[in-house]
Structure 1
């Protein structure tokens, strides 16, 4: 492990402080724009991860601690599980054997465009140690033996941004078990079926009133289902995502969840929006200002709490998403 404690010239941005800007400078990540839109990417968490709640003012990750570079799974697990803040820079391809537990006040950031976690994944929080205030950015996740990332056990204030997810075993990115205030932004999901689950199961009613999640500017690229599939949560805000060639469905709201599907672009998606799915009861879902190209008719039901009661946002014109989202998602682009 390399411990970077001296001042570092500014070449990148992360969550809003000089310390994290220095961390991304060390990581050699480019701050830039989506070429078609000339869009400057966020340097701080937005959506639900930005909300002041549960004793946490937004999501800042490990900015209070030192910046350390890791190149192997042993060091990654040690620092991610430490009871003190860290900015952890992942360099190169890191092999892990199972789920690495990430506890509170951590930033885990990939170096450049080649940082990868493979063979296992990251679990935010355990039953005794919370995974609150965690930032995950600029990482490729492949070949996980379970979930690639699991936000669980009441973890809150989590920002997952500019990552690439593929070829896992179960879910690519699951949010469950009373977790809350999460933003998932500018990620590329591909080469997989079960993509993003929100809510543990039909019988886990403790998720009701939690699981507030924002999904924006993600590319669901040929993945089959769960973009996301939601139980009990309200509101889940799904806006400005690009859906392409999703064989089973786009979004599913079930078990009385409240989901707003807004200003997305659906292309070749036979069932873009479901209310209820499989054996799960119907959820409430509102859709507005979406584009449907060679896609089916969305199902809607009831009303949903407005995300603007929690945070402000301005959606992009959904017609621009097929060019701006693929140009901006994934690693090496923050």
Structure 2
């Protein structure tokens, strides 16, 4: 909110208060009625000024969810990203493309109306769905630059025993409001990645969302579970990524950030993991990091079977305002895990816990220099207190939005 807007709001409040004083009679009015009328007029004035804050504590949701006409202003969502992926514009200012056909029979010549056909177009597109549907891609669903996949208003499932989403050497992509699950490895085959080009792709691992060399990517309010490999993996020089408001459950290797210890191009990777709910049945990698800078902030961890946050190759991890609830198994109390390094090596890695809430014996093992400037590179926005995490993440996952009503 700008200083001018704050000043305008303060002036409005002052004028309303003075008006109450001026119009009061000799007999003091009922204080409760005065307060109710005051807030009524203030809220009406806020609406005229364009205020849409819900004060939920979740800045992404407060940016757009209060608008009952969100379906008429879908692209407002692109202004609401935070963290390292905040500049992911997706298909902003592009045309609306409506998916009417859930089929995916031809990865080389996809039919108009399918998700694949819209996803590979060269122009910016804001992709929406005409009705509830389950899409089972035959091959990797390749998403080209400047695309938004917006599932609001429909119950959209991607995967269901087929392949899932691949972002390869593409930028400015938003994936919002879909359920991604039961993704399986794709076979070798011909796949179109633009209107002018198709090529032979080797089989994939079965990730829910695979980001390879991607930049400015935002994955928000998705529900994800039970994929063959990772739910979200980012590798091969990917950066400027935010993963927020997602609900993840029933999975082993949740999130890999960094290709390998030897792949040093991932040193420039910057990823924000915020406001997610890591639910039941998760084992490890929430996330597992290599080389880069990772801000893990205001997430709700409700058990882990091995560890929550891990890494190798000296990543910088800034854990702030998270809630960690360890399981009753005494073996799995530690939040952190260092891999492929001896103690005199990993003690130099910059891993910090600040304001985290540790429950049921959970503990975080910090390392490195707590005042290192590398932490500033791993801070993407200000954390909320961990005591608010339950409220902030209440609506994590795909929202049950319907056109004509608030989400």
Q: Does 1:120 align with 2:163?
A: yes
- 5 Å matches for 1:185-200? 185-200=244-259
SS in 2 for 1:246: coil
Tell whether the 8 Å contact from 1:183 to 1:213 is kept in structure 2 after alignment. Answer: yes
Q: Does 1:218 align with 2:254?
A: no
| TM-score, length-scaled by structure 1 | 0.79
Cα distance in structure 2, aligned partners of 1:251 and 1:237: 11
Residue 7 of structure 1: aligned partner = none
SS in 1 for 2:393: helix
Match of 1:321 among 386, 389, 395: 389
Structure 1 runs of 4+ off > 4 angstroms?
A: 21-24, 26-29, 278-281, 304-312
Deviation (angstroms), 1:245: 1.5
The structure richer in helix per residue is 2
Tell whether the 8 Å contact from 2:84 to 2:380 is kept in structure 1 after alignment. Answer: no
Residue 234 of structure 2: aligned partner = 175
Structure with larger Rg: 2
Residue 133 of structure 1: aligned partner = 172
Tell whether the 8 Å contact from 2:316 to 2:374 is kept in structure 1 after alignment. Answer: no
* Equivalenced residues, count: 295
**Structure 2: runs of 5+ lacking an equivalent:** 1-51, 53-59, 105-109, 185-205, 402-406
**Structure 1: runs of 5+ lacking an equivalent:** 1-11, 32-40, 51-57
Deviation (angstroms), 1:313: 2.7
Tell whether the 8 Å contact from 1:101 to 1:122 is kept in structure 2 after alignment. Answer: yes
Residue 61 of structure 1: aligned partner = 90
Q: Which moved more, 1:114-123 or 1:224-233?
A: 114-123
Q: Which moved more, 1:283-292 or 1:65-74?
A: 65-74
Match of 2:210 among 150, 155, 172: 150
Residue 25 of structure 1: aligned partner = 71
| TM-score, length-scaled by structure 2 | 0.66
Deviation (angstroms), 1:297: 2.2
Residue 124 of structure 2: aligned partner = 85
Residue 115 of structure 2: aligned partner = 76
Change (3 A) 1:305 1:255: same
Q: Which moved more, 1:316-325 or 1:253-262?
A: 316-325
Q: Deviations over 1:19-62 (max 9, x none)?
A: xx999616999x9xxxxxxxxx9952110012xxxxxxx22111
Cα distance in structure 2, aligned partners of 1:65 and 1:300: 45
Tell whether the 8 Å contact from 2:240 to 2:271 is kept in structure 1 after alignment. Answer: yes
Residue 110 of structure 1: aligned partner = 151
Tell whether the 8 Å contact from 1:113 to 1:331 is kept in structure 2 after alignment. Answer: no
Q: Deviations over 1:228-275 (max 9, x none)?
A: 000111x21000000012111111132111010111000125344325
